[in-house]
Amino acid sequence: MNNITRNNQKIWRVKASAPALSQILSRKLGISPLMAQLLVNRGIYTVEHARDYLGCELESLHRPGLMRDMPKAVARILKAIRFRDKIMVYGDYDVDGVTATALLIRVFQRLGVDVKYHIPNRLTEGYGLRLDVLKQAASEGINLVITLDCGISSIEEALWAHDNGLDLIITDHHEPGAELPRAFAVVNPKRPDCKYPYKDLAGVGVALKLAQALLEEAGMGSLAWQEYLDLACLGTIADIVPLQGENRIIVKHGLTRLARTENAGLQALIAVSELVKEELGARQVGFGLAPRLNAAGRMKSPDPALKLLLSDNTAEAWELAAELNRLNQERQKIESEVFEEIKKMLDERPEMAEDRVLVLASPGWHVGVIGIVASRLVNIYTRPVLLIALQDGEGKGSARSVPGFNMHQALSHCQALLLSYGGHASAAGFSIEKGRIEDFRRELNLYAGETLHDEGTTALVELDGIISMEQVSEKLVNELDLLRPIGHHNPGPLLGCRQATVLKCRGVGRGAAHLKMLLQSQNSTFDGIGFNLGAYAEVLATAEEVDLAFVPGINEYNGRSSIQLEVKELGMPAVLDTVEAKQTGFLRRVGYVPTELFIPEFVLLKLRYALQHSEMHGRVNKITRAPLKLEDWRGLDDRPGALAGIASRGEPTVVLTSCGYRTIELAHFLQLAVPSLAGRVAFCHTSSQEAEKDRIVQCFRDGTISTIVTTPVTAGELAQHAVQTIIYDLPYEHEAFCCGVNTVRPGGSLYLLFSPDDLQENREALGNLAPDREFLASLYRILLREHNKGNLGNCTAEFITGRMRAAGHQWVHHDMVRVCLGILEELELLTVKGVGHEGRLELYPPPRRKRDLMEAKTYQYLHQLKDKALSWMEKLVDERLHSDMDDFPLK
């Protein structure tokens, strides 16, 4: 990596390529290698995760009951409804909390229950669960309080509720402290003992899960919860949580529902924001709807925002939406004033502007806008910013961070100087005594000096890759649309092109603020538009070469559509910093994954046995008598995540897969997803060189590496060397299963992670072992064509394999072709003269009668193997297993 010094020059950082993973994703999913690389750039390292990402289906959401205390919370709520207990929901004043509160109130209304609610006033009450509100609730006879988007840090308040007979259900998504509140139920995916697979839900996401579980248990059907996706989408986008995993699914389907929402308040809010329903995206929600809802809590009280979301009256909704619009305009004015004051403050005290972390305070700032101003300052100064509004000797602060600097951890480090704090890695809130602010600034900057590197405060343009303009096409644009919805941690694509020629350029728009261009690179010419890049019109000369950071899109104009490049940055030239993937330890860089690695090892071995006319059963393998602990995790929602969790323990681990490509995929995934495994993961498969396999096996035995991802053939050389073995893919036969079992040391653990979904994939793969009539007919037609051309005598298995792939059989292997030629020879349709199946091919005259394929012994035997494998796999998927492997029933 180039040495980077902090200056005003933006660095164009090209993300590390992963050619092996890109090729695997491209071939398995039918997408371009560029699109596959974009997925890798977004942390999608496995075919399973990529399928979920691209599918983004509601069915991929995890079951709410997996969340710790969720069943307990649902049971208590239903009991309260049944016995007519008084219930209060307690939310937060930001959009996440308000939408979560509105969502749960609407669910209660659907269940025929009236509930009280309370959302604290940001300006007078501050964030979090308040003891005085709980006491007032108890005095009014309320029996159950449910928090939304808050409460995880309310130790004292929860203890009071417990001691005074007030049941408290906390639903939250903020980071828990060392101690959990003593509440009746604490529903938070981030609590350490919660096994819910997805940890980054927004507060409204947790509320949606509660609604789903509650409605299903109340007998309202399995789809009733989906009516609240509009609210969940809005709160999720507004809270700037990672737009990946479940959040992305919620937002994608929520945007569709939001565009046709029946919620009168949301309809009015969309209208007053002047948004087009058909064009609603994450950006429109985040910059159009969310600020207006937030303005209520920032400027006055959150009540108008909540009332808007609960309103079913069109006239009332319009009135409330107009009020929120006015408050937002007022917020913008005050925000601008605070922003200008801070810029002046930093101009007058330049030494403060050089701090690694900016900590600024003033008694004149409105506490409701300092968070937004802090975000703007982060974008300008590219460093963490903490703003403190002072009043009566105490400051209320809002913090925003940069990548690589965990704000919640930073405040934890300085907690002795704070009155209170809470939040996330990227944003947090806190309170502090005025007299401690200078000590706080000093201590925070000392901490940042140890943890915040220069590159964290360097202005970066992060490129997904450098491409040629000739790669830009309508097909590429359509593929890039698969990344939507885009947002935090799921950024839109940004591509780079070097040395494009500017044929024309001019300023357009009000004040010529934007730049219209005609660009050429090699033999490709495209229109380009650079919003807010109009100043370049004065310095760019035609025929000048520039570097582009751009996004290709489709421009619709006068009924015609054409590709247009939206240029985000111009470099003359750009300062590039290409990040190379760190290949540490034994995880070598793989540039090409041959076709045979996509074919299951079982199939390849059986085909080769058939070609050698040897015993087709392979070697006999029995289960050893070593006692072990069986962990039956078949059918988990997130198999790669479970794998990462097991391997991260650092114990000697064997991961057993069925295909060679899978060893490469999972080994890379583990090293990229689990930093502690860097340099301690290796892979090998059937096609690995013997010397390489021997070296890896030896390093595993001596502890140099902790995790080896392999196929059954190599696993057979690891007898009783693993503390934990993971059978990741559904084995094709008893022998492969035994190979996995036998790697476990006495007293070790065997994890079964394969899924019933594997059965269909394995069934399809077995087509490469036992060809059907259609496949053989296709092969025979190719041979006839080559015979008619006079080329048949020179046809090799590799040549025929290429023709078969061109005919649509993309996974065919030359060993399979050789076996098929043998079957056709047994059927007396052709003969092979010479040595083996590489000899000269000659066709017999077409037969007068239709051949019965079962007349070929090879065909018959391969189908027997296929049927046996299918029978074995069907039992293994469904059978209840016991740790006593001596009595294993599926031989």
Does 842 or 326 have the greater pLDDT score?
A: 326
Q: Are strands 524-530 and 514-521 parallel, antiparallel or unpaired?
A: antiparallel
Residue 166: its pLDDT value, please? 97
Q: What is the tens place of the pLDDT at every residue in 249-259?
A: 999 999 999 99
- CATH architecture of the domain with residue range 62-223: Alpha-Beta Complex (3.90)
The two tokens of residue 501 are 């020629």
Confidence bin at 587 (pLDDT 50/70/90): low
Contact predicate 100/91, CB 8 Å: yes
Query: What CATH fold (topology level) applies to the domain 770-855?
Result: Arc Repressor Mutant, subunit A (1.10.10)
Residue 621: its pLDDT value, please? 57
Residue 811 sits at the vertex; the CA angle it makes with 805 and 814, to the nearest 5 degrees, is: 75
Report the share of the chain in percent with pLDDT over 70. 94
Confidence bin at 585 (pLDDT 50/70/90): low
> Rounded distance, CA 140 to CA 135, Å?
9
Q: Are strands 465-466 and 681-683 parallel, antiparallel or unpaired?
A: unpaired
Q: How far is CA 289 from CA 268, 281, 311, 373, in A?
A: 10, 11, 16, 18
3-state secondary structure of 552: strand
Query: Which range among 144-153, 376-385, 834-843 shows the weakest confidence by mean pLDDT?
Result: 834-843
What residue type is 710 in one-letter code? T
Contact predicate 96/238, CB 8 Å: yes
768: left (phi over 0), alpha (psi -120 to 50) or beta: alpha
- The DSSP code for 535 is G
> Rounded distance, CA 283 to CA 487, Å?
8
Query: Which range among 497-501, 670-674, 743-747, 835-839 shows the weakest confidence by mean pLDDT?
Result: 835-839
> Rounded distance, CA 187 to CA 529, Å?
48
Residue 810: its pLDDT value, please? 83
Say yes or no to pLDDT of 836 above 60: no
Say yes or no to pLDDT of 1 above 50: no
Say yes or no to pLDDT of 494 above 70: yes
- Write the DSSP assignment of 735-765 as a string of letters: HHHHHHHHTEEEEEEEEE---THHHHHHHHH
> Rounded distance, CA 724 to CA 751, Å?
7
Task: Please compute, for residue 766, the number of CA atoms within 13 A of its CA located in the half-sphere on the CB side.
Answer: 21
The two tokens of residue 887 are 């009595």
Task: Give the pTM.
Answer: 0.87
Residue 456: its pLDDT value, please? 54
> Rounded distance, CA 186 to CA 278, Å?
39
Confidence bin at 455 (pLDDT 50/70/90): low
Q: What is the tens place of the pLDDT at every residue in 242-251?
A: 999 999 999 9
Say yes or no to pLDDT of 580 above 70: no
- The DSSP code for 570 is E
> Rounded distance, CA 575 to CA 3, Å?
11
Q: How far is CA 512 from CA 516, 547, 870, 881, in A?
A: 10, 22, 68, 72
The top-level CATH class assigned to 11-55+461-578 is mainly beta
Residue 617: its pLDDT value, please? 43
Domain 595-757 CATH superfamily: P-loop containing nucleotide triphosphate hydrolases (3.40.50.300)
Residue from 280, 364, 368 nearest 332 by CA: 368
H or E element, residue 694: helix 690-701
Q: What is the tens place of the pLDDT at every residue in 126-161?
A: 888 999 999 999 999 999 999 999 999 999 999 999
Residue from 443, 56, 434, 85 nearest 250 by CA: 56
Q: What is the tens place of the pLDDT at every residue in 179-207?
A: 999 999 999 999 999 999 999 999 999 99
Q: What is the tens place of the pLDDT at every residue in 737-788?
A: 999 999 999 999 999 999 989 999 999 999 888 989 999 999 999 999 988 8
Say yes or no to pLDDT of 656 above 80: yes
Residue from 251, 169, 170, 258 nearest 205 by CA: 251
Contact predicate 505/516, CB 8 Å: yes
Does 564 or 351 have the greater pLDDT score?
A: 564
Contact predicate 474/554, CB 8 Å: yes
Say yes or no to pLDDT of 569 above 80: yes
Say yes or no to pLDDT of 603 above 80: yes
Residue 180: its pLDDT value, please? 96
Start-to-end CA span in the chain (Å): 54
Return the beta strands (E) in 301-410 as ranges: 358-362, 385-391, 394-400
> Rounded distance, CA 507 to CA 591, Å?
44
Domain ranges of the chain: 11-55+461-578, 62-223, 349-448, 595-757, 770-855
Residue 132: its pLDDT value, please? 95
Residue 883: its pLDDT value, please? 55
Handedness of CA 346, 352, 357, 359 (dihedral sign): negative
- CATH architecture of the domain with residue range 349-448: Roll (3.10)
Residue 349: its pLDDT value, please? 85
Confidence bin at 119 (pLDDT 50/70/90): very high
Query: Which range among 13-27, 288-302, 504-518, 604-618 shows the weakest confidence by mean pLDDT?
Result: 604-618
Mean pLDDT, residues 270-282: 93
Say yes or no to pLDDT of 571 above 50: yes
Contact predicate 100/204, CB 8 Å: yes
Contact predicate 327/359, CB 8 Å: no
3-state secondary structure of 79: helix
Q: Which residues of 241-262 are buried (b: 16+ CB within 10 A; e: fewer)?
A: bbbbbbbbbbbbbbbebbbebe
Residue from 241, 214, 223, 195 nearest 105 by CA: 214
> Rounded distance, CA 847 to CA 851, Å?
8
